[in-house]
Amino acid sequence: MNVIEKRIAELTEYRPDLTTPKDMDLFWDKMLEEVRAKPIRAFKTPVDTPYAHMLAYRVTFEGVDDTPLHAWYVRPRFAGDQKLPCIVLFHGYTGGKGYPEDYSSWLMLGFAVLAVDVRGQGGETGDRLDDPHGTVKGWITKGILDKDTCYYKTITTDALRAVDWVAEQTDVNPTQIAISGASQGGGLSLMVAALSNKAAVTVADIPNMCHMDFGMMNSTSSLMEAAEFANRFPEHLEQVLHTLSYFDVMNLAHRIRIPVMVSVGFKDTVCMPETIFAAYNRIESPKTIEIYPFTGHWVEGFQRRKTAEFLVKTLALS
């Protein structure tokens, strides 16, 4: 057994203790009721694009807290009003939804696309949620002392509402909704897979939001912000860990019931292999993991091809 095979074997068996709070299911059941009870109140506006064969729209819908959330909705012009499979995409930390034409390759596969801004970060979406406590740089520590005010809660409920909007569209096949993203987007994709009843398949590349206590200790990810918060306010360490446990994919993985593809890079110091396998190993639905022994925190073109192949096969697209 070479060192790569040994590393894979070790990670495949890696099952750290869960940190699931006692009221986890009650908390999320309540949150899902709130998400479903509030009308989405979305509107869609056509936008110009230099790509002649693309139809592009700016979509604005409300978060649970009334924050206006922005996204691009794009479709291939040749499809007309045909019901298409749709992929909902979430970007990485500090990013944004970019431009509509960034998603043209998905249209060549016959997909519609909803590309969503994560609130408060590098896109056009703000954040109306108040900060009940001081924070450190970045967004992760907003409301981190309470599960009901935690930033991870708001971006997760935002993601769920985005999928709900897609499922309501008359030009989308509601049985063929895919969820995908990388890093932060990968973590949100797995959260949606665990909590939404509308997603059909998920691809989570190098996902964050997994095994977050390990990440706070060891990674160079956004969880460094949580570590810095606990360093600055050491009296709050246990509360920080408790809050994060509600949003740790490792603790929610057993709720995933749809096919999942995950990717991992063994040289990734941001979303470390241990964190990804801690969540992946607890997924009980059909799953596959693509392992890249010499890749850091990025997604290669080969993995993008594997993603397309996986979605076409899983959704039975011709």
Residue numbers annotated as active site: 183, 268, 297
Contact between residue 199 and residue 193 where contact means Cβ atoms under 8 Å apart: yes
Give the SS3 label for residue 259.
coil
Tokens 């990440």 label which residue? 215
What is the distance of C-alpha 117 from the center of its chain? 11
Separation of alpha carbons 238 and 145, rounded Å = 9
Residues 6+ apart with CB under 8 A from 268: 206, 295, 296, 297
> Dihedrals φ, ψ of 239, to 5°?
-70, -40
Tokens 């450190």 label which residue? 136
Residue closest to 128 by CA, chosen among 177, 69, 179: 69
Tokens of 175: 């049985």
Contact between residue 215 and residue 273 where contact means Cβ atoms under 8 Å apart: no
DSSP letters, 15-71, are: -PPP---TTHHHHHHHHHHHHHHS----EEEEE--S-TTEEEEEEEEE-TT--EEEE
Residues 6+ apart with CB under 8 A from 226: 140, 141, 144, 212, 216, 240, 244
